[in-house]
């Protein structure tokens, strides 16, 4: 019988028979199953793969529906003579070539598919771009950045040219430790590990902490990048609800009483995506629960620099005397996402293990960029830039909230965020954010729906609007057009 390397992935949402059909389809496309070749009998294949015979039958039926195989009573199932799939392989590899069927070789514990919705083509940028993950390009500190990179090249390049350092450039770690005093966090340079963006930090923590089957508590709704990183390591994700005061610690307490949870992920300064700040009493309750149940807390402080008004709340980690909080920060929001520099502050055993894991991946990040960033921090250039951009974003936030109140359907709720550059919006009952997004794309308006931020039952009315990259007048015009389209976004039978 033909040897098959198929292994079902029970974590995938599609049923096993569709996974098997996909694998067999790839074998046909790769030329490993040629025209007229007989497929294994369903009973034999089911026994060889440890599947039910009905599952194999369903997979064969799916391929037959696509006319890739034909079944002959009393003879078996054969690859169709249409040659459609083989023509794809031969066009790419030449006559008689057989490509490797990669689907059977991927690790069972591989990355989950990205949850972010497809974005419009860069060749045709939307006229009104409310998508998250953007900054105001016009406000970037070009002069300060040029000076910082020039200083790094003139002063630090001879020291770092032949250096590989998984923990990161020491002067940058020193500047980060010095700057975190403003967040109430006292740490040393040796407690800091540089990562290529907070997302690598999440993946790194998942790699060193989570085994397949471990439970990780995540906010609901919450940052989907954390769910992707944890799920890719085989973790079981357990959602904990969020309300207007942040993570609901009484719900977390019930969860922890019922099962072993290895880590809790939270965004306390500016909750992603709702923008609320975790209440003081809940901060104390969260730390007490972590101590009682001996679990780690991952504090993602991704957006605290861009606070809306007044000082940001102290970091959760500053009240942690037991070293159980793993603090993640990033320069993506204060500067720009393509910089890809973030940092982890943690107890010495965690930093050592994380540095070892990074060394296995890439021996350390871009030290020249890290040296330039250290100079930008040392000179005060980053602090001056953040002060300027806060004023810009405050004006745009006011413009967005006013436009939402004026133009979106009556009953729309918009949460004023504690910081950052996005607003979480809930349309009234009967409206569908996905339908509105589809209608908006056709009119040159792009935004994120709330769907990716939910692990279980999503709110179809939720969406997120980013105000970073648009002037106030453009924000008002874009939201006004969005309001005109909202009538077409009503769910079937909905009565707004």
For residue 185, the domain's CATH number is: 3.40.640.10
Q: What is the pLDDT of residues 395-445, one digit of tens each?
A: 999 999 999 999 999 999 998 999 989 999 999 998 999 999 999 999 999
Q: What is the pLDDT of residues 134-178, one digit of tens each?
A: 899 999 999 999 999 999 999 888 888 888 889 999 999 999 999
Q: What is the pLDDT of residues 229-271, one digit of tens each?
A: 999 898 999 999 999 999 999 999 999 999 999 999 999 999 9
Q: What is the pLDDT of residues 280-324, one digit of tens each?
A: 999 999 999 999 999 999 999 988 788 877 777 889 999 998 899
**Number of separate domains in the chain:** 3
Same domain, 271 and 145: yes
Task: State the pLDDT at residue 171.
Answer: 96
Taking the C-alpha atoms of residue 112 and residue 118, their distance in angstroms, rounded to an integer, is: 16
Same domain, 224 and 365: yes
Same domain, 267 and 305: yes
Is residue 5 assigned to a domain? no
Taking the C-alpha atoms of residue 46 and residue 282, their distance in angstroms, rounded to an integer, is: 52
Same domain, 157 and 263: yes
CATH classification of the domain holding 71:
1.10.10.10
Same domain, 355 and 474: no
Is residue 123 assigned to a domain? no
Is residue 360 assigned to a domain? yes
Is residue 264 assigned to a domain? yes
Is residue 113 assigned to a domain? no
Which residue matches tokens 């350390």?
A: 364
Omega before 18 within 30 of 0, i.e. cis: no
Same domain, 267 and 154: yes
Same domain, 241 and 342: yes
Q: Is 435 left (phi over 0), alpha (psi -120 to 50) or beta?
A: alpha
Is residue 10 assigned to a domain? no
Which of 357, 379, 401 is where one domain is finished? 379
Which of 326, 353, 379 is where one domain is finished? 379
Task: State the pLDDT at residue 98.
Answer: 57
Same domain, 388 and 409: yes
Residues in CB range of 122: below 8 A, 6 or more apart: none
CATH classification of the domain holding 464:
3.90.1150.10
Which of 379, 401, 418 is where one domain is finished? 379
User: Do residues 396 and 313 lie in contact, with contact meaning Cβ atoms separated by under 8 Å?
Assistant: no
Is residue 118 assigned to a domain? no
Same domain, 303 and 388: no
Is residue 1 assigned to a domain? no
Range(s) of the domain holding residue 62: 16-102
User: Do residues 239 and 456 lie in contact, with contact meaning Cβ atoms separated by under 8 Å?
Assistant: yes
Same domain, 266 and 341: yes
Same domain, 372 and 393: no
**Strand-pair category, 263-266 with 246-247:** unpaired
């Amino acid at each position: 019988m033909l040897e098959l390397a198929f292994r079902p992935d029970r974590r995938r949402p599609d049923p096993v028979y569709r996974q098997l059909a996909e694998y067999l389809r790839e074998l046909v496309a790769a030329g490993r199953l040629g025209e007229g070749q007989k497929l294994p009998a369903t009973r034999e294949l089911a026994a060889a793969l440890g599947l039910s015979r009905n599952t194999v039958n369903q997979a064969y039926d799916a391929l037959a529906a696509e006319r890739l195989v034909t079944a002959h009573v009393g003879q078996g199932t054969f690859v169709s003579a249409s040659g459609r799939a083989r023509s794809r392989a031969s066009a790419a590899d030449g006559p008689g070539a057989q490509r490797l069927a990669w689907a059977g070789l991927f690790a069972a514990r591989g990355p989950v598919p990205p949850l972010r919705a497809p974005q419009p083509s860069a060749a045709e940028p939307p006229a009104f771009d409310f998508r998250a993950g953007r900054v105001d390009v016009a406000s970037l500190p070009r002069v300060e950045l040029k000076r910082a990179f020039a200083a790094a090249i003139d002063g630090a390049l001879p020291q770092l040219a032949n250096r590989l350092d998984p923990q990161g450039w020491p002067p940058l770690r020193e500047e980060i430790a010095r700057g975190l005093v403003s967040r109430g966090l006292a740490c040393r340079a040796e407690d800091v590990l540089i990562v290529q963006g907070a997302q690598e930090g999440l993946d790194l923590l998942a790699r060193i902490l989570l085994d397949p089957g471990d439970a990780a508590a995540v906010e609901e709704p919450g940052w989907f990048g954390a769910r992707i990183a944890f799920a890719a390591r085989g973790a079981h994700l357990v959602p904990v609800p969020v309300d207007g005061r942040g993570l609901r610690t009484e719900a977390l307490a019930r969860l922890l009483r019922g099962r072993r949870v290895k880590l809790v992920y939270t965004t306390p300064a500016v909750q992603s995506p709702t923008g609320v700040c975790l209440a003081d009493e809940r901060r104390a309750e969260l730390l007490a629960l972590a101590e009682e149940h001996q679990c780690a807390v991952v504090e993602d402080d991704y957006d605290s620099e861009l606070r809306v008004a007044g000082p940001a709340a102290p970091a959760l980690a500053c009240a942690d005397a037991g070293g159980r909080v793993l603090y993640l920060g990033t320069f993506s929001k204060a500067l720009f996402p393509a910089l890809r520099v973030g940092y982890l502050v943690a107890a010495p055993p965690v930093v050592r293990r994380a540095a070892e894991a990074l060394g296995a991946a890439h021996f350390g990040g871009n030290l020249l960029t890290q040296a330039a960033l250290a100079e930008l921090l040392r000179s005060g250039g980053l602090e001056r830039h953040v002060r300027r951009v806060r004023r810009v974003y405050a004006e745009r936030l006011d413009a967005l909230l006013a436009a939402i109140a004026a133009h979106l359907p009556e009953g729309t709720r918009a949460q004023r965020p504690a910081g950052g550059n996005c607003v979480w919006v809930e349309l009234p009952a009967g409206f569908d954010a996905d339908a509105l997004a589809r209608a908006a794309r056709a009119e040159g308006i792009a935004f994120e729906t709330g769907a990716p931020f939910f692990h279980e039952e999503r709110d179809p009315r939720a969406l997120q609007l980013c105000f970073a990259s648009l002037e106030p007048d453009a924000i008002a015009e874009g939201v006004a057009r969005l309001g005109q389209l909202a009538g077409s976004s009503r769910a079937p039978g909905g009565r707004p």
